[in-house]
Amino acid sequence: MKRIIAALLLIGAFALSACTNAQNSQPENLTADSKAVFQKATADEAGLDPYAVENNYDIPDSYFEKKDGVDYGTVQKDVTYYSTTAGDNKQCNILLPAGYDEKQTYPVMYIFHGFGGSHNNQIDTDSYVTLLYGNMLNDGSTVPMILVNVDMYTDKQADKESKTDEELRYIYDKAIDDVAVDLMPFIEKNYPVKTGRENTAVAGMSEGGAKSLCTGFKWLDKFGYIAGFAPDTNVIAIGENYMDSFWTVPYFPDGFPQPTADTTPYYLYMTVGSEDPWNIEGTLYYRDVLNEMGVKNQTDLVDGYGHDYKFWRQCFCNYLTKIFK
């Protein structure tokens, strides 16, 4: 079991509603539920950037439910590609948006699951990301894109069931290269995607949140949007005893790579719930280090949430309102 990193921190109240400019430009077909989540974060249209819009964590449960008359796109399950990083075939799940047209091109978001999960966790038939994205796209609060649920297990598939948690942690680290070296070229070859960091996002929760940060920062030239939801404590060194556990051994022992003017993220989003038992201190430490580096980020400590899907889905909703706009 993971080591509890620190006691819960006291926090003040966060503003949870979207800005007035966002509300003034909502599409006419917004439902009552979606009015609560629609946020406009488009510099070209409103003179705003993603950081200028506060995130909303009061999104109602009904917004994550299947609704009559909504097209939720097409889930392609267990899509197989060869990973030179793993030395074996790997699989991913892919969500093609409603109205998908092979003659058009789409931006791409890659999603990392949590520890012990798989490529079926976020993108599957009636999964929370699939339903959320379909509802948001139907209401005009996000844009058409292709979503790819990564499997972080990056090793010989036949050996998967025999691995310990410690072995899995380092096997998952290899997904950081697999996504950039193997999966992205496969997606770009077989799907009509827009290339370039301005059209490529990565996100994940828990261990997947750590891998999202690592992937985005190792490959700053490939990813323009980066999000870690309650990321685990193995991205950079945290505290004096970080070598005591494999959970905290840093992927970047020398700290975050420094972005250049050409590779600064368009949007860097981190968030953690006040009831999270493991990753409050780490998330806030990442924030402080990035601030000291001069790397802009939006990091929220959110009252009342723990370390589970009820929080992840709120985070995905915020992120989807802000990328590729």
- Can you give the pLDDT at residue 38? 55
User: Residue 283: phi, psi to the nearest 5?
Assistant: -60, -45
Residue type at 284 in one-letter notation: L
Residue 231 lies in a domain: yes
Tokens of 186: 């496969």
| Domain assignment present for 87 | yes
List the CATH number of the domain containing 131: 3.40.50.1820
Is 70 exceeded by the pLDDT of residue 5? no
16: which 2 tokens? 């949870």
**Number of domains into which the chain is organized:** 1
Does residue 5 fall inside a structural domain? no
As a whole number of angstroms, the longest Cα–Cα distance in the chain is 55
Per-residue model confidence (pLDDT) at position 36: 54
Q: Is residue 125 part of a domain?
A: yes
Reported confidence tier of residue 29, pLDDT bands at 50, 70, 90 = low
Check: CB of residue 111 under 8 Å from CB of residue 118: no
Q: Going by C-beta distance under 8 Å and a sequence separation of 6 or more, which residues neighbour residue 137?
A: 73, 97, 98, 143, 144
Domain of 97, in residue numbers:
20-322
Reading the block at residue 151, the tokens are: 């499997």
pLDDT above 70: residue 42: no
Identify which of 242, 258, 254, 255 has the alpha carbon closest to the alpha carbon of residue 295: 258
pTM: 0.89
Q: Which residues contact 67 (CB under 8 A, 6 or more apart)?
A: 135, 138
Question: What is the Cα–Cα distance from 48 to 59, expressed in whole angstroms?
Answer: 22
Q: What is the pLDDT of residue 35?
A: 58
User: pLDDT class for 159, splitting at 50, 70, 90?
Assistant: confident
34 or 131, greater pLDDT: 131
Give every strand in the sheet of 200-205, ordered side by side.
74-83, 88-96, 146-150, 108-112, 200-205, 225-229, 267-273, 298-302
Asked whether the beta carbons of 220 and 257 are under 8 A apart, the reply is yes
288 and 259 in contact (C-beta within 8 Å)? no
Q: Which of 227, 216, 222, 201 has the alpha carbon at shortest distance from 297?
A: 227
Dihedral over alpha carbons 273, 10, 246, 200 (to 10 degrees)? 40
Question: Is pLDDT of 280 > 60?
Answer: yes
Task: Encode pLDDT of 93-102 as tens digits.
Answer: 999 999 999 9
pLDDT at residue 9 in the model: 34
Q: Give the pLDDT confidence score for residue 21 in this predicted structure.
A: 34
**4 part of a folded domain:** no
Please check whether residue 7 lies inside any domain of the structure. Answer: no
Q: What is the pLDDT of residue 241?
A: 87
Contact 145, 178 (CB under 8 A): no
**Whose structure tokens read 């997904």?**
175
Q: Give domain status of residue 296, yes or no.
A: yes
**Which string of DSSP letters, residue by residue, matches 58-92?**
---GGGGS--TT----EEEEEEEEEETTTTEEEEE
Cα(284)–Cα(276) distance, rounded to whole angstroms?
Answer: 12
Bridge pairing between strands 108-112 and 200-205: parallel
* pLDDT of residue 325 exceeding 60: yes
Does 69 map to a domain? yes
Q: Looking at residues 147-162, what average pLDDT do you find?
A: 94
Q: Mean pLDDT of all residues in the chain?
A: 89
pLDDT at 28: 47
Whether 2 shows a pLDDT value over 50: the answer reads no
Higher pLDDT, 25 or 172: 172
What's the Cα-to-Cα distance from 118 to each of 122, 124, 154, 212, 225, rounded to whole Å?
9, 11, 11, 15, 22
Q: Taking residues 67-89, what's their average pLDDT?
A: 98
